[in-house]
Amino acid sequence: MLDEMSDEALMLAYREGDAAAFEALYRRWRGRLYRYLLRQCGNAAQADELFQDIWLKIVGARRGYEVAAKFSTWLFRIAHNRLIDHYRTQGRAALVSLVSYDDDPADADRVAALPAAASSQPEAIIERKALAHELVRHIEALPAAQRETFLLSEEGELTLEEIAAATGVNRETAKSRLRYAVNKLRAALREHK
């Protein structure tokens, strides 16, 4: 029964004290949120810390929860803000990279410049699994804002409007970032094929 409920209905049930509803909701989103954070931080320990903070925020917001947006948009909005706080403590460069609207075409060079990790094993490159891992490496090499937009699209399954709402930008900016990210990844994968 819980599996058939929407995210928002589950969160409302949790607001009323149904802990099982929260568990169902958590199981739905735990992996997606974790990978979003892991790709953004590049560090499992930091991802763990952020992941826990974000879910505890959700838990803490239980009593005042109202359905004002899709649960996933709300969740990733919290995650985005928590990441900004994290970057602030890490240094200005990372923060500027995340909030920058600059989609410099030169960024594509950074992806193209990545060393071919499996170049010494040409047979393995053919294998799809290796290609997938290569894709992850390229994603991690994207500029933070483009990477975040791509991850929100893939992991969060958010629309452009929802990505814009979660990251605090307008739809066109979100669209531009996503287009850049996808084009760079396509190009990088073409080079490995």
Partner 1 sequence: MSHDDTRDEQLSRLYREAAGEEPSEAMDRAILAAARAEAAPVQPRKRAWWQTWAGPASVAATVVLTVTLTLMVQQEQEHAFIEAPPSKGEAADSAEKPASPPPAVKQEAAPAPKPLARETKAEPAAPAGALAPRAPMTEPAEPAADAVELRARSAPLRKEAVGAAPARTPEQWLEDIRRLKQQGKDKEAAEALADFRKAYPDFRLPDDLR
The C-alpha angle 15, 21, 26, rounded to 5 degrees, equals 105
Stretches 48-56, 68-76, 90-98, 103-111: which one binds partner 1 (CB under 8 A)?
48-56
Number of Cβ within a 10 Å radius of residue 89: 8
- Residue of 46, 84, 182, 192 that binds partner 1 (CB under 8 A): 182
Rounded distance between C-alpha atoms, residue 12 and residue 2, angstroms? 12
Number of neighbours of residue 135 by Cβ within 10 angstroms: 14
Site string for partner 1, 50-89 (x = CB under 8 A): -xx--xx--xx-x---------------------------
Nearest CA among 4, 90, 78 for reference residue 46: 90
The single residue among 9, 28, 35, 65 that binds partner 1, judged by CB under 8 A, is: 35
Question: What character string, x for contact with partner 1 (CB under 8 A) and - otherwise, covers 87-106?
Answer: --------------------
Q: Where are the alpha helices (DSSP H) in 91-159?
A: 92-99, 107-112, 122-126, 128-141, 144-154
Question: Binding residues for partner 1, per CB under 8 A?
Answer: 14, 17-19, 22-23, 26, 30-31, 34-35, 38, 48, 51-52, 55-56, 59-60, 62, 128-129, 131-133, 135-136, 139, 153-155, 157, 159-160, 175, 178-179, 182, 185-186, 189
